[in-house]
Amino acid sequence: MLAKLFIRCCGGICLLFILIGSLVNLAYADTIFLPVVIKSGSSGGGGGGGGTCQVGNLLQDGSFETGSPYWTQLAGSYTIIDPYANALDGAKVAWFGGYNNADDRLTSQPFTVSSGCKSLTIVVHLRLTTQEITSFAYDKLYASLQPVGSITNPEVKVADNTTKCNCAWVRMTYTYNQIPNPGQPLRLYFRGTTDSSRITNFYIDLASVEASSGTSLQTMATEHPSDGEASFSIEFPMGDPGVTSPAAVYGKE
């Protein structure tokens, strides 16, 4: 009898505990579950903030093997993207100059820089041969990042006929520590010019535009010695000198 009474009373209390326990469980389940839902919702909608940087090269066909549609020639009397026996990579290069009174212009396809990137470095490999024998810069090559549809940013000198690159392939870089035209697509733009005599050949191969999430210091002076213009840095030579005498330099004519 006593046992029956105990079970009865305890049954009621136990039922109460079980009920409270279930509610607590339910409450815990809610508090555990809800933040997960909120978290996944907020990350999905928060893509526009600081953003992450897609680090690495943004340029396509940096070896100039394909040409169109990755590259568009805007000016010049001869084809700029051409086969070249001494190409650094593959069979073709971008060949600026090589004749007198040249005004050669070449642009890449536009590319997008993700919002978290802090710097962009243009990397090119240059081989230069010239008939010029003075220390005055007559023939010049520039590269720059420009918005689509206009040339509004300063052009940066890659090299001129006085550049001491020993005629070998050299790796050259220029870093933008502020992204030009933030939020807009950019393109890599080259312009090569020569004066009316003594040709210079500027061969470019293996170009890239490297995006980085940090800024970087230019390791060498970036002012061109002959005229104080902003300029690329020569990083290191690659391969052997090819032409040693200006008289042995041939161009496109």
Q: Under the rule (CB under 5 A), what is the footprint of Ca ion?
A: 63-64, 87, 89-90, 92, 138-139, 194-195, 198, 205
Q: How far is the CB of 249 from Ca ion (least distance, A)?
A: 11
In the bound state with Ca ion, the residue whose beta carbon lies nearer, of 42 and 253, is: 253
- How far is it, in rounded angstroms, from Cα 128 to Cα 166? 8
Q: How far is the CB of 217 from Ca ion (least distance, A)?
A: 30
In the bound state with Ca ion, the residue whose beta carbon lies nearer, of 58 and 251, is: 251
Q: How far is the CB of 32 from Ca ion (least distance, A)?
A: 57
In the bound state with Ca ion, the residue whose beta carbon lies nearer, of 92 and 224, is: 92
Location of structure tokens 């690329």: 232
- How far is it, in rounded angstroms, from Cα 6 to Cα 12? 10
In the bound state with Ca ion, the residue whose beta carbon lies nearer, of 89 and 235, is: 89
In the bound state with Ca ion, the residue whose beta carbon lies nearer, of 129 and 175, is: 129
- How far is it, in rounded angstroms, from Cα 198 to Cα 132? 5
Q: How far is the CB of 204 from Ca ion (least distance, A)?
A: 9
In the bound state with Ca ion, the residue whose beta carbon lies nearer, of 173 and 194, is: 194
Q: How far is the CB of 241 from Ca ion (least distance, A)?
A: 20
**How does DSSP assign 74-121, residue by residue?**
EE-SS-SEEE-TT-SSSSEEEEEESSTT-EEEEEEPPBPPPTT--EEE
Do 145 and 191 contact (CB within 8 A), yes or no?
A: no
Phi-psi region of 206 (alpha: psi -120 to 50; beta: other; left: phi over 0): left
- How far is it, in rounded angstroms, from Cα 248 to Cα 200? 12
- How far is it, in rounded angstroms, from Cα 46 to Cα 80? 44
**How does DSSP assign 7-53, residue by residue?**
HHHHHHHHHHHHHHHHHHHHHHHHHHHHHHHHHHHHHHH-TTSS---
Q: How far is the CB of 202 from Ca ion (least distance, A)?
A: 11
